Amino acid sequence: MAKEKILVIGASGQIGVELTLALRKIYGNQNVIASDLREQNPLLEGTGPYVSLDVMNKEMLHVQVIRQNITQVYLLAAILSATGEKNPNLAWHLNMQGLLNVLDIAREEKLNKIYWPSSIAVFGPTSPKQNCPQQTIIEPTTVYGISKYAGEFWCNYYHQRYGVDVRSLRYPGLISYKSAPGGGTTDYAVEIFHEALEHHAYQCFLEEDTYLPMMYMPDAIRATIELMEAPKENIGIRTSYNIGAMSFSPKEIATAIQQHIPDFRMLYKPDSRQSIANSWPQSIDDSVAQQHWQWKPEYDLEAMVTDMLKNLKAKPNI
Ligand code: NAD
Ligand code: SER
């Protein structure tokens, strides 16, 4: 494998921690620089270099890329759907300008590869609800979705016009036990596990029959690495790939948890996040990713629930 030096921006977040650890296993600890606005996550401490970095400060970002001889950037810093609705200007600004800063530096420094995630949030109420295809009507109604859709076209533009090898996935809601989620509409599917173990009860902010596309973090990390390692000629989509794994409602995940914790109770008190969830598809057609780079998920609802509970029970603070 050619020598790569990777910068992960947003490394202290829900995906960043696990992706950084996975990249360090492949490329070597010293070759993966973690960076974030936040102090570094305790799970990353002692595993490799960390720098404090604001992706909005293009000059400092450029200096880091040159100083560290960076060849690849994974840009994870963003404001997610629910937090974005509280401060639309900030969400637009960070999600767009952060991406443009990285794409510009990638072009100027001729970086080998860039990874930037999009989301199922690009889809809106006019997109098909079931098996939402790669190419369809896309009219997002959240600022987060608008920023992701615009970002997809910036990626495509930098690829077409400047040859930047930027790759992207439209992640579904991600479920993980290592690092907490950061302000999304799908966060209930993580919170539910902590509450089930600690209090045997959870008050859900979505209605019981709200189906959404979801994925367990090990599948998301593997998808990201498989996409990034796929031969260039296989990457036919330069906006962002649909990827899917499972689709369930709050009621269904509660039932799956009850198989392990029989007295677990669910209460429902929908809030403003319900309308965001209602605007998204319930399931995703990822056949294009399957064809182009052989994407295949491993975890379904039961396997994910069993693994989440096993790992959370083993955590010292639970
Ligand atoms: P997160 O909120 O958990 O982490 C984002 C990280 O970025 C945080 O640690 C934050 O401190 C950092 N950050 C924020 N502003 C920054 C700045 N100006 N400079 C540097 N760092 C900054 O988010 P996540 O869930 O890990 O998501 C990562 C990416 O994946 C985002 O683009 C998100 O839209 C996308 N995504 C996530 C999900 C999901 O379910 N988690 C689903 C779809 C897409
Ligand atoms: N999990 C994310 C959110 O709910 C989807 O991009 O915002």
Q: So what's the pLDDT on residue 40?
A: 87
Q: Which ligand is nearest to the CA of 13?
A: 1
Q: 205 and 261: one domain?
A: yes
Task: Quote the ligand 2 centre to 284 CA distance (angstroms).
Answer: 14
Block residue for tokens 């401060």: 87
Nearest alpha carbon to residue 111 among 76, 143, 64: 64
Q: 261 and 309: one domain?
A: yes
Angle between helices 301-313 and 188-199 (to 10 degrees): 50
**Boundaries of domain holding 193:** 174-214+245-313
Q: 264 and 254: one domain?
A: yes
SS3 for 241? strand
Instruction: Judge whether residue 25 has pLDDT over 90.
Output: yes
Contact 174, 158 (CB under 8 A): no
Contact 227, 293 (CB under 8 A): yes
Instruction: Judge whether residue 317 has pLDDT over 90.
Output: no
Most informative mutation of 9, 33, 36, 55 for ligand 1 (most atoms within 8 A of CB): 36
Task: Quote the ligand 1 centre to 179 CA distance (angstroms).
Answer: 11
What does the mean pLDDT of the chain come to? 97
Cα separation, 235 vs 312, in Å, equals 36
Instruction: Judge whether residue 1 has pLDDT over 70.
Output: no
Nearest alpha carbon to residue 304 among 259, 269, 270, 268: 259
Q: So what's the pLDDT on residue 155?
A: 98
Task: Give ligand 2 pocket residues (Cβ under 6 A).
Answer: 80-81, 119, 121, 144, 173, 184-186
Respond yes or no: is residue 144 known to be catalytic.
yes
Is residue 318 one of the residues assigned to a domain?
A: no
* Token duo for residue 222: 């593997």
Q: 165 and 189: one domain?
A: no
Block residue for tokens 């955590």: 315
Which residue's alpha carbon is nearest to atom 2 within ligand 2?
184
pLDDT tens-digit map of 26-51: 999 999 999 999 988 999 999 999 99
pLDDT tens-digit map of 130-166: 999 999 999 999 999 999 999 999 999 999 999 999 9
* Token duo for residue 169: 């996935």
Q: Which CATH number goes with the domain that contains 260? A: 3.90.25.10
pLDDT tens-digit map of 205-260: 999 999 999 999 999 999 999 999 999 999 999 999 999 999 999 999 999 999 99
**pLDDT > 70 fraction of the chain, expressed in percent and rounded:** 99
The model's pTM: 0.98
- How many domains would you assign to the chain? 2
Is residue 237 one of the residues assigned to a domain?
A: no
Nearest alpha carbon to residue 36 among 124, 98, 87: 98
Rg (CA), the chain: 19
Averaged pLDDT for residues 104-125: 98
181 lines ligand 1 (CB under 6 A): yes
Cα separation, 156 vs 63, in Å, equals 25
